Amino acid sequence: MTSQIEERVRIRPGVSGGVTPDRCYYLLSGPYSTALGRLSTAQQALLHRLAREPVPAQELVEQDLSLLRREGWLQATVTWSGTDVYTVEPEGPQHPIAGEMPEDLVLSRYAVARRDGSAMVLESPRSWCRVRLHDSRALAWLGLPRPADDDVPALRRFRRDLWAGGLAVARAGDEDDRSPTWRPHELWFHRRSRRPLPGVPYGKGDWAAGRPVPHAALREPFDGEVVELARPDLSRVRAGDPGLTTVLEQRRSLYRYDASNPMTAAELGEFLYRCSRNRNVPRTDGADYVRRPYPSGGALYELEIYPVIRQVHGLEQGLHHYDPQRHRLERICGATPEVRRLLRTAAAATGHEEPQVLLVIAARFGRVMWNYQSMAYSLIMKNVGVLFQTMYLVATAMQLAPCALGGGDSTAFAAATGLDEMDEGSVGEFALGSLPRGAAR
């Protein structure tokens, strides 16, 4: 045991390398690569050791291979008194913060610490590295106190590494002022959804092969009363249909309705049929794809529509599920307090009246997450937008009043339906009703 600080480096996981025919060495991982050129025998030996085991960091300097570190190929573990305290794990080339380290540091408002396996990891969407904390002393230091601890050499080193990684910032810095508008959950999500990382699976993958699909293409039915919906004759619809450009240019958000001439059950049937019916019987060979009029990533169609009926001629008030295969509604409940809350929240979102029909869009998350990684939820959000515009255009062509809502309360939906939000939860809301008087197009 020694009370000294030691630093050992090794090539991080997921990096591969090789030698070109003219004996130039290179390393690569994901979109990054570094050409090392020709290496001396001692350099070659060090490179091979770095791939195999932790090596004292000073050997990089001795062998003139500090480039490996700057380009982000090495993870570095700091040891104090013989114990591993933390490891700096690059996610790409280093972008160390320039300038002198300020005395008064705080954690970046974007840094999050969480458990990853058996260790805690500190990461930030603004950093080029993660820091893995092996020791509870390092955890305690996340508070970054200045006082007595300052004479602990390992803490000084830790502070410097967090600063260089952008994980800690000057207390007096302008981080909060400069970007008052990104919330931490938003920036973290953005980076994890939009930046493929070494060692983190991204996009469509076959990791789920062999696992059962968490949800079949056809949702199991609710056991309430079934309400058959009218099917429009599509050839008749086509004959009287306005042109695409006419509809696109005419579309407007409308959130007032004609209460004396509310929407009808037939209109709701036609609307749902044109937007969101299943056009085929799903294949049953495992993957279980369907087709609907709107496009959906991977043809998985994770979205389900739950119409909340407030005022529709021919339909009872309450919450329903739309079965897109059989084109009918399954009644879940009447105008319970939770259902009323969904309508109130929708009215608050537009600042106007409660819609005649509120279409709550829910996702069966597992259908997408089973196949897509890291960007699955972001894909679901885009699918909701695709469905929104489909609804807007069909409503415009049908002379109805459409309005997509900007946000909603998925807790209220879970309470109204009794669904487990981890399995299926609401992700979008669309308000619909009859055109207000005088607004005929």
Is there binding between residue 427 and its own copies (CB under 8 A)? Answer: yes
Strand pairing report for 25-29 and 83-90: unpaired
- Which positions ≥6 away from 185 have C-beta within 8 Å? none
CA 236 to chain centre: 41
Contact string 119-158 vs its own copies (x = CB under 8 A): -x------------x--xx-xxxxx-x-------------
- Which positions ≥6 away from 76 have C-beta within 8 Å? 7, 8, 9, 57, 69, 87, 88
Please answer whether residues 324 and 278 qualify as being in contact, where contact means their C-beta atoms are separated by less than 8 angstroms: yes
Is there binding between residue 241 and its own copies (CB under 8 A)? Answer: yes
Distance CA 428, CA 34 (A): 44
Distance CA 286, CA 213 (A): 7
Give the residue with the Cβ less far from its own copies, 63 or 87: 87
Is there binding between residue 406 and its own copies (CB under 8 A)? Answer: yes
Give the residue with the Cβ less far from its own copies, 39 or 142: 142
Distance CA 92, CA 170 (A): 24
The CB-of-6 to its own copies minimum distance in angstroms stands at: 22
Please answer whether residues 311 and 356 qualify as being in contact, where contact means their C-beta atoms are separated by less than 8 angstroms: yes
Give the residue with the Cβ less far from its own copies, 59 or 149: 149
In the list 55, 85, 397, 432, the residue contacting its own copies (rule: CB under 8 A) is 397
* Subset of residues 34 to 63 that bind its own copies, contact rule: CB under 8 A: none
Applying CB under 8 A, the span of 18-26, 49-57, 403-411, 433-441 interacting with its own copies comes to: 403-411
Give the residue with the Cβ less far from its own copies, 32 or 44: 32
Please answer whether residues 380 and 365 qualify as being in contact, where contact means their C-beta atoms are separated by less than 8 angstroms: yes
Is there binding between residue 392 and its own copies (CB under 8 A)? Answer: yes
Give the residue with the Cβ less far from its own copies, 60 or 376: 376
* Subset of residues 295 to 354 that bind its own copies, contact rule: CB under 8 A: 295, 297-298, 341, 349
Distance CA 282, CA 296 (A): 14
In the list 31, 99, 418, 438, the residue contacting its own copies (rule: CB under 8 A) is 31
Please answer whether residues 60 and 66 qualify as being in contact, where contact means their C-beta atoms are separated by less than 8 angstroms: yes
Give the residue with the Cβ less far from its own copies, 74 or 133: 133
The CB-of-139 to its own copies minimum distance in angstroms stands at: 5
Distance CA 50, CA 8 (A): 10
Give the residue with the Cβ less far from its own copies, 227 or 392: 392
The CB-of-20 to its own copies minimum distance in angstroms stands at: 19
- Tell me the site size for its own copies, rule CB under 8 A: 108
Distance CA 99, CA 87 (A): 23
CA nearest to 253, candidates 390, 441, 431, 440? 431
Q: Which token pair is 357?
A: 């029909």
Applying CB under 8 A, the span of 21-29, 55-63, 305-313, 407-415 interacting with its own copies comes to: 407-415
Is there binding between residue 375 and its own copies (CB under 8 A)? Answer: yes
- Bridge partner list, 88: 76, 131
CA distances from 405 to 346, 350, 392 (A): 7, 7, 12
Give the residue with the Cβ less far from its own copies, 311 or 373: 373
Give the residue with the Cβ less far from its own copies, 245 or 260: 245
In the list 226, 230, 335, 381, the residue contacting its own copies (rule: CB under 8 A) is 381
In the list 100, 220, 223, 249, the residue contacting its own copies (rule: CB under 8 A) is 249
> Using CB atoms within 10 A of its CB, is residue 111 exposed (0-12), middle (13-18) or buried (19+)?
buried
In the list 74, 290, 412, 416, the residue contacting its own copies (rule: CB under 8 A) is 412
Distance CA 18, CA 408 (A): 52
* Subset of residues 166 to 225 that bind its own copies, contact rule: CB under 8 A: 178-196, 202-204, 211, 214
In the list 387, 416, 431, 435, the residue contacting its own copies (rule: CB under 8 A) is 387
Give the residue with the Cβ less far from its own copies, 119 or 226: 119
Q: Is the dihedral of CA 38, 42, 47, 48 positive or negative?
A: positive
Is there binding between residue 422 and its own copies (CB under 8 A)? Answer: yes
